[in-house]
Amino acid sequence: MSEKKLHMLSYEHGGYVLWWSEVEKQLTLKLGWLDKYPKFKFGLDYEAFTFDECDRIAPHINKIIAETLEKYPDRFALGSTTYGQPLSLYISEESNARQLIYAVRTNLSHFGTTPKVYAISEFALHNQIPQLAKQVGYEAGILRSHVMGFGYPRTFDSAWGNWIGKDGTALPSLPTYPDEGEGYSNCTVDNWILTRWPDHADGIGPEDFEKKYAKYEPLIASRYDDLCNGREELTALVEKTDRYDFILLEDIPKICGEAKDELRTTDNDFHGRMPWGYCGNEIFNDCRATETRAALAERLNAFSVMLGGKCEQEALEEAWKNALVLQHHDITICGLFNDSHRFAPASLKASDSVIASSAAYVAPKFARKDSEGVFAFNTNSFPVKEWIDTGRTYGSVYDGDKELPTAVQDGKLMAYAEIEPLTAKRLEFKSTPASKVVNFCYDAQKGILSTPEYNIKLTSKGIAYIDCARSGRRLVDNGEGALLEGWVVDGMEYSDAVWTVTFEGGSVKAVQNGTVGCIPFTFEMRLTAGSWRIDCRADFDMNNEKVGHAGRLVDEMFESHTIDGQLHEEKLGFVMNLCLENDRRMYRDLPYSISEWDGQLWKSGPFWHPDMLILTDRTVTPEESFAGTTYLNGIYWFALRDKDWGMSVFNRGCMGSAVQGNKVTVPLIYADEYLCGKKMLKGHFGGEFALYPFLADTTLTDIHRAATAYNYPVITAPIAKGEGELDCVKVGSLEGSKDVIMTTLYAENGMILARMCNFSDESASVKLDSFAGKAVAETDLLGNDTKALTSDVLEFHPWEIKTVRLAK
Q: Is the pLDDT of residue 613 over 70?
A: no
Please report the pLDDT score of residue 547 as a whole number: 95
Please report the pLDDT score of residue 23 as a whole number: 97
Please report the pLDDT score of residue 2 as a whole number: 58
Give this prediction's pTM: 0.95
Over residues 255-273, the mean pLDDT reads: 96
Residue 256 contacts residue 172 (beta carbons within 8 Å):
yes
Q: What are the pLDDT digits (tens) for 674-697?
A: 877 789 999 999 999 999 999 999
Please report the pLDDT score of residue 625 as a whole number: 52
Over residues 259-278, the mean pLDDT reads: 95
pLDDT category, 81, cuts 50, 70, 90?
A: very high
Alpha helix positions (H), 213-336: 232-240, 251-256, 282-306, 313-326, 329-334
Through-space distance between the first and last CA atoms of the chain, rounded to whole angstroms: 63
Please report the pLDDT score of residue 121 as a whole number: 96
Q: What is the DSSP string of 415-441?
A: EEEEE-TTEEEEEEEESSPPPP----E
Q: Is the pLDDT of residue 621 over 60?
A: no
Q: What are the pLDDT digits (tens) for 744-797?
A: 999 999 999 999 999 999 999 999 989 999 999 999 999 999 999 999 899 999
Q: Is the pLDDT of residue 603 over 50?
A: no
What SS3 string covers 696-752? CCCCHHHHHHHHHHHHCCCEEEEECCCCCCCCEEECEEEEECCCEEEEEEEEECCEE
Q: Which residue has the higher pLDDT, 244 or 624?
A: 244
Distance CA 10, CA 235 (A): 10
Question: How far, rounded to the nearest angstrom, does the alpha carbon of residue 541 sit from its chain's CA centroid?
Answer: 27
Please report the pLDDT score of residue 551 as a whole number: 58
HSE, side-chain direction, 13 A CA sphere, residue 165 = 27
Over residues 148-152, the mean pLDDT reads: 90
Contacts for 169 with CB less than 8 Å, ≥ 6 apart: 130, 131, 134
Distance CA 753, CA 743 (A): 11
Please report the pLDDT score of residue 529 as a whole number: 81
Please report the pLDDT score of residue 436 as a whole number: 74
Over residues 525-531, the mean pLDDT reads: 89
Distance CA 627, CA 659 (A): 10
Q: Is the pLDDT of residue 557 over 80?
A: no
Percentage with pLDDT > 70 across the chain = 94
Residue 567 contacts residue 549 (beta carbons within 8 Å):
yes
Q: What are the pLDDT digits (tens) for 18-46?
A: 999 999 999 999 999 999 999 999 999 99
Q: What does each C-alpha distance from 804 to 213, 492, 601 come to in angstroms? A: 45, 53, 42
Please report the pLDDT score of residue 550 as a whole number: 66
Q: What are the pLDDT digits (tens) for 463-510?
A: 999 999 999 999 999 999 999 999 999 899 999 999 999 988 778 999
The DSSP H or E segment spanning 194 is: helix 189-196
Distance CA 363, CA 365 (A): 5
pLDDT category, 564, cuts 50, 70, 90?
A: low
Over residues 379-396, the mean pLDDT reads: 93
Query: Comparing 184-198, 237-251, 492-506, 597-611, which segment has the lowest mean pLDDT?
Result: 597-611
Q: What is the DSSP string of 480-542?
A: EEE-EEEEETTEEEE-EEEEEEEEETTEEEEEEEEEETTEEEEEEEEEETT---EEEEEEEEE
Please report the pLDDT score of residue 563 as a whole number: 52
Over residues 655-660, the mean pLDDT reads: 94
Please report the pLDDT score of residue 560 as a whole number: 41
Strand partners of residue 652: none
Please give the mean pLDDT across all residues of the chain: 92
Residue 425 contacts residue 728 (beta carbons within 8 Å):
yes
Q: What are the pLDDT digits (tens) for 733-758?
A: 999 999 999 999 999 999 999 999 99
Q: Is the pLDDT of residue 310 over 70?
A: yes
